[in-house]
Amino acid sequence: MKITWNTDIYCLIGHPISKTLSPIIHNSFYKLINANNIYLTFDVEKRDLETIINSFKILNIKGFNVTLPHKISIIKYLDDISEEAKIIGAINTVKNKNGKLIGHNTDGIGFLKSLELEGIDIKDRNILILGSGGAANAISVSVSMAGAKKIFISNRTLAKAEKLTKRIKKQFPEIAIEYGDLELKNVPKNEIDMVINCTSVGMYPKIHEAPIEFQGFSKNLIVYDLIYKPRKTKLIKMAQRRGYRTVGGLSMLINQALCSQNIWIENKNYNFANNFEKIRRILDTYVE
């Protein structure tokens, strides 16, 4: 691309960020829509966060994504946050709106968009969520808002699963929700419609591990693994051998990025699904 004096700058901040695919996704999108924008990455440590945020205002950075470890700590440096970000309690997208930095969260929206593109409806479904960290938080909120019938949160550390369960139950009292460990002794496996892996088990260097086994689940199970590298985790391979429908994390990664773009450039005219497919094909050369 040709960078000029009026090229708009967007970026990602986090630590570390060396393995991120975000620049490929966002810059590919700008090329697809012929926008004079560029997306960069900045490795920002906790001690420098406030300074960086203030400099973004001065430099008129139009928008930026936020990844670990800043998704929660950045909130106190923003001028306002959106309703979905308040519910989730974390930020992954910030828009510079006339000098005011507004925080959003597109993780949950991106997840639901990926289900929509896959033709998967989770209304009145029983959902098993593995993990209780930031991703599990966003996913739990999203499936609750989408009308899930019952949610089971299972985590290696029981206290963390309990904490997330209490939070979701407080926000969505109409949703039936239980918690337990990864042995799944409290989970009626044959009644589960979807398993969503929000843990890091299956990601490098744990690529030969899976968080659970699939004995006892129904034959119509859907398995969604948020990990996108490797594309086919051990969990996904195990599920496919049993004939289950599977969705990998690359779908959510692309969709949450496109949802960020929707917030930044407010362009409702581009074809969301079409751009998703084009970017997915581009990423095929980067993710095995």
Tokens of 111: 């997840």
pLDDT of residue 269: 60
pLDDT in tens, 139-188: 999 999 999 999 999 999 999 999 999 999 999 999 999 999 999 999 99
| CATH 3.40.50.10860 residue window(s) in the chain | 8-105+254-283
Which one of the listed residues 2, 57, 62, 71 is annotated catalytic?
71
**CA–CA gap between residue 147 and residue 57 (Å, rounded):** 38
pLDDT in tens, 151-160: 999 999 999 9
End-to-end CA distance of the chain: 27
Q: CATH assignment of 8-105+254-283?
A: 3.40.50.10860
Is 113 one of the annotated active-site residues of the chain? Answer: no
| CATH 3.40.50.720 residue window(s) in the chain | 109-247
pLDDT of residue 105: 94
**CA–CA gap between residue 163 and residue 190 (Å, rounded):** 26
Global pTM?
0.89
pLDDT in tens, 213-247: 999 999 999 999 999 888 899 999 999 999 999 99
pLDDT bucket at 99, cuts 50 / 70 / 90: very high
Beta bridge partners of 66: 13
Average pLDDT score over residue span 38-43: 97
**CA–CA gap between residue 144 and residue 168 (Å, rounded):** 8
Tokens of 114: 């990926």
pLDDT bucket at 271, cuts 50 / 70 / 90: confident
User: For the stretch 194-232, what's the b/e string if a residue is b when 16 or more beta carbons lie within 10 angstroms of its beta carbon?
Assistant: bbbbbbebbbeeeeeebbbebeebeeebbbbbbbbbbeb
pLDDT of residue 1: 66
Write out the CATH class of domain 109-247: alpha beta
Percentage of the chain exceeding pLDDT 90: 81
